[in-house]
Structure 1
Amino acid sequence: MNIAESSLRLLVDKWLAPTLSTPVRVTQFSRTRSNQGRYVFVEVLRAAGPVGLFFFRHDNGRWCVFPPETERLAMRAYGRAA
């Protein structure tokens, strides 16, 4: 999947399926506290009520419905020279 295939516009179309009578709107956008990653909350008004999703921008430029994984501390063991 290339970056164009995971653009925010295409993902909104895929997940929320907006139409002329039910347009989408961005209701929140900011950065996450943990890694300063960008996110937006997009919602569409349906007959049953509003439906919305968070979209997260990953380091590679792609937008996804799941947040990027945070870096974890790691401990490594190295063999000792003889």
Structure 2
Amino acid sequence: MITAEKSLHWAVDKWLAPTPAMPARVARCCRTGTHRRRYVCIEALRPGGLLSIFFFRHDDGTWNVFPPAAERPAMNGYRRAA
């Protein structure tokens, strides 16, 4: 279960601090090509112009501004009894 501290709503509030006068909106909602992981682009109009931030969903259900680490090939050697 996702904790409230790492939900998409929490991340948007942290990074964009939307207000009724300057709301944030979902501009794009997609999945990455290789691993089909979700990401969302949120936009907010600011006095300096439009601000867009991408949020990426991680395997543990949290949302962050950085993409999840790529899975890498791994080897594991087990000792065999002689």
Distance in 2 between residues matched to 1:3 and 1:35, nearest whole Å:
24
Paired position in structure 2 for 1:60: 60
Question: With structure 1 as the length reference, what TM-score do the two structures score?
Answer: 0.86
1:1-82 matched pairs, under 5 angstroms: 3-77=3-77
User: Offset at 1:77?
Assistant: 4.8
Can you give the 5+ residue segments of structure 2 that lack an aligned partner in the other structure?
none
User: Offset at 1:47?
Assistant: 1.3
Q: Please state whether the residue corresponding to 1:56 is helix, strand or coil.
A: strand
Q: CA RMSD in A?
A: 1.5
Can you give the 5+ residue segments of structure 1 that lack an aligned partner in the other structure?
none
Percent identical across equivalent pairs?
54
Question: With structure 2 as the length reference, what TM-score do the two structures score?
Answer: 0.86
Structure 1 residue runs of 4+, over 6 Å off? none
User: Offset at 1:75?
Assistant: 3.4
Deviations 1:2-41 (A, max 9, x none): 6210111111011001111100011011101121100000
User: Offset at 1:73?
Assistant: 1.0
